[in-house]
Structure 1
Amino acid sequence: MKQFKVIGVAALALLLSATMAFAIGAGVGRDGTIVGTKGKAKTVQELIDMYDSTGCIDCHEDAHDDWAASPHARSIYGTGRAAATMITAMKNGFMSWEYSGVKSTKDIKVEHWMGCMKCHLPQLADATDEVAVELADTLNEWYANAKKALKNPDDKKAIAIRDKHQKTLTSLNINCLVCHNRMAITHKWTDGYPQHDTVYGFNDGEHEDETFTKMKRSLIMDESIFCGQCHGMGPNLELENPTQCATAYGSYMWAYRAEGGQESCQECHMEKSGLGHKILSYSDETMQKMAIDFKVESYVSQWLDGSTLKPKAVVKVKMVNRSGHSIPDG
């Protein structure tokens, strides 16, 4: 009897391991990723903690300060406008689509969000559907109380709730670990999966950190394809309901590289601009000057309208796009 119990337990363990392997998908090493070792986040806070990069600050303070001033540090919230746009995408998008299966926020799943979050929060794919619901409720509560606080600046309760949710939303972002771990390898079947104890950049070796003890070179860290994972090719045709959004990488590939352009996104937006990890674009004066030649010529004269002499102004405007992609874009 004891022997049968042992065999039964072993068979169950084998079945569970096979089921788990199937659940996390194909590919050797996927189980060593951050989500592979920790399991999917079940709450928004768990997702924040899963990709918490505050441990990077001690050694990389300058890079962190630059990043903190970047749009990537507020990839969901933005200035508040991005968060409001997420709500619009939810209410006027998948909550209004007949076959989405969403009638209220409790019906929302991770895949419903990915039209936005594929770029604004790619690590949402490492969370359960409960997190998708919580994110929707957080956005709605933030917006409702932000409106109350705007209408009545003395409404302390509304201000407190608004600020609480704003803190949560700004903690969901594209940070060090998203870039230097999760998104650091594109060709995972040839180059391997990003491992939970490794940071990826330009060097191989040991890394002085209790959690991320190794450094490995990422083959794409200084290549435009790294940025192209989010600033994409155009329609996200892999989604159940494709969206046409960011096309910067597609424009870069077909209108710039195809014509012989050689510079990468990182060379312009980080190195030549001197912006480092701020990685700004149209909001930065330096990037504006790098991207566009803007010339204006004007002169005044007079012209005869019948028997009446009238003043005339002639203005010639010449704008040349010197960036590596169409403008505006994202």
Structure 2
Amino acid sequence: MLALLSLPDVALAQQKARTVDDLAKMYDVASCKQCHAKVYEEWEKSTHARSLIGTGRTIGGFQGMIRAGLMGAFTKSGVKDVGDVKVEHLAQCFKCHLPQISDATDEVARELVKAYLDADRATLGKVNVNCLVCHNTKAILHKWQDGEPEKGVVYGSKDGPHPDKYPAMKNSVVMKEAAMCGQCHGTGPNFEFPQPSQCATAYGSYLHAYIPAGGTETCQDCHMKKDGKGHLMPAYRDPDMAKRAVDVDVEARGYKFLLKAGDSIPTAVVTVKITNKAGHRIPDG
């Protein structure tokens, strides 16, 4: 017996991407490069541009979540193999690593899970956190007040026409605020999901420690404006960021430990003091 979808359900399914390639096309930002070449080049080198691949540990982390979590310890998830995976099973991770998954069907979720299990970097590299994610999908926080992000609109610092396939620009009141970044580089456990996980807490420690201590800079000040690295948005792996983030003082004192006459052992006492100067706890994401 066939299960029938209502007309609204059919329309919704038709609007959603059914393959990773469909989703990549839906969020294609290649045209941004024509006018914003420098910004685009910075972004291409950033971790955001490889949000599903990330650093050396990211793919392994996802593989562990899938094998040991969804297909293992999370016995009530309903996932025994790739064919059981739905978008909802990836939501707690893809909320940040791929927010546009909400515009995809379960078929895309399964394709990405298979890519992780196969360590298929080519497929995982097709979609990412790009211009459209930040300048549209995540550009409005207070949706009851300001509404949902509008299709065809690029959100930034002003209103006006936009010479591209996205024909309009609108001001986003959060684009220059730390809260913009806090949507993903968050405040702690994702309690809104069926299987909460402790993930990034950078914005939480920024909000509850750095600001009360008198801090005045935003995420954008430190990760974009200083050193002029813009949309590269470097973090702890960048030498300049690491130097600004911590002070390291090392004091060493050497002496000889005399076990018995004529038998001394060269010894040293080393004291290392590391002071966090960042606007949040480190390391964090």
Q: TM-score, normalised by structure 2?
A: 0.91
Check 1:80–1:295 CA distance in 2 against 1; reply closer, same or farther (3 A cut).
closer
Asked if the contact 1:273/1:287 (under 8 Å) is kept, the reply is no
From 119, 138, 141, give the equivalent of 1:186.
141
Residue of structure 2 equivalent to 1:159: none
- Secondary structure at the aligned position of 1:298 is classed as strand
User: Does 1:222 find its partner at 2:198?
Assistant: no
CA deviations over 1:276-297 (Å, ceiling 9, x no partner): 1111111100000110001112
Structure with greater proportional helix content: 1
Residue 79 (structure 1) shift? 4.9
| RMSD (Å), alpha carbons | 2.1
From 65, 86, 94, give the equivalent of 1:117.
94
Give, in whole Å, the separation in 1 of the partners of 2:158 and 2:116: 39
Q: TM-score, normalised by structure 1?
A: 0.79
From 234, 239, 248, give the equivalent of 2:193.
239
Residue of structure 1 equivalent to 2:220: 266
Residue 108 (structure 1) shift? 0.5
Where structure 1 has 5 or more consecutive residues not aligned to the other structure, the ranges are 1-14, 25-34, 144-164
Give, in whole Å, the separation in 2 of the partners of 1:176 and 1:167: 20
Give, in whole Å, the separation in 1 of the partners of 2:52 and 2:200: 15
Residue 131 (structure 1) shift? 1.2
In the alignment, residue 192 of structure 2 is paired with which amino acid? E
- Secondary structure at the aligned position of 1:41 is classed as coil
From 116, 131, 134, give the equivalent of 1:139.
116
Percent of residue pairs identical: 49
Give, in whole Å, the separation in 2 of the partners of 1:310 and 1:166: 52
Give, in whole Å, the separation in 1 of the partners of 2:90 and 2:203: 22
Asked if the contact 1:42/1:128 (under 8 Å) is kept, the reply is yes
Asked if the contact 2:82/2:113 (under 8 Å) is kept, the reply is yes
In the alignment, residue 155 of structure 2 is paired with which amino acid? Y
User: Does 1:172 find its partner at 2:127?
Assistant: yes
Residue 86 (structure 1) shift? 1.4
Asked if the contact 2:136/2:153 (under 8 Å) is kept, the reply is yes
From 203, 208, 214, give the equivalent of 1:254.
208
Residue of structure 1 equivalent to 2:235: 281
Check 1:102–1:205 CA distance in 2 against 1; reply closer, same or farther (3 A cut).
same
CA deviations over 1:136-187 (Å, ceiling 9, x no partner): 22323x33xxxxxxxxxxxxxxxxxxxxx42221121000001111111111
In the alignment, residue 161 of structure 2 is paired with which amino acid? E
Residue 314 (structure 1) shift? 2.6
Give, in whole Å, the separation in 2 of the partners of 1:178 and 1:127: 14
Residue of structure 2 equivalent to 1:89: 65
Asked if the contact 1:303/1:312 (under 8 Å) is kept, the reply is yes
From 149, 153, 157, give the equivalent of 1:202.
157
Residue 83 (structure 1) shift? 2.3
Residue of structure 2 equivalent to 1:302: 256
- Secondary structure at the aligned position of 2:212 is classed as helix
Residue of structure 2 equivalent to 1:293: 247
Asked if the contact 2:158/2:171 (under 8 Å) is kept, the reply is yes
CA deviations over 1:199-242 (Å, ceiling 9, x no partner): 01111111111x21111111111111111111111110000111
Give, in whole Å, the separation in 1 of the partners of 2:190 and 2:115: 26
Asked if the contact 1:180/1:199 (under 8 Å) is kept, the reply is yes
Residue of structure 2 equivalent to 1:62: 38
Q: How does 1:73-88 map to 2 (within 5 A)?
A: 73-79=49-55, 81-88=57-64
Residue of structure 2 equivalent to 1:317: 272
Give, in whole Å, the separation in 1 of the partners of 2:267 and 2:123: 57
Where structure 2 has 5 or more consecutive residues not aligned to the other structure, the ranges are 1-5
Residue of structure 2 equivalent to 1:104: 81
Residue 303 (structure 1) shift? 4.7
Question: Paired residues, what number?
Answer: 277
- Indicate the structure (1 or 2) with the bigger Cα radius of gyration: 1
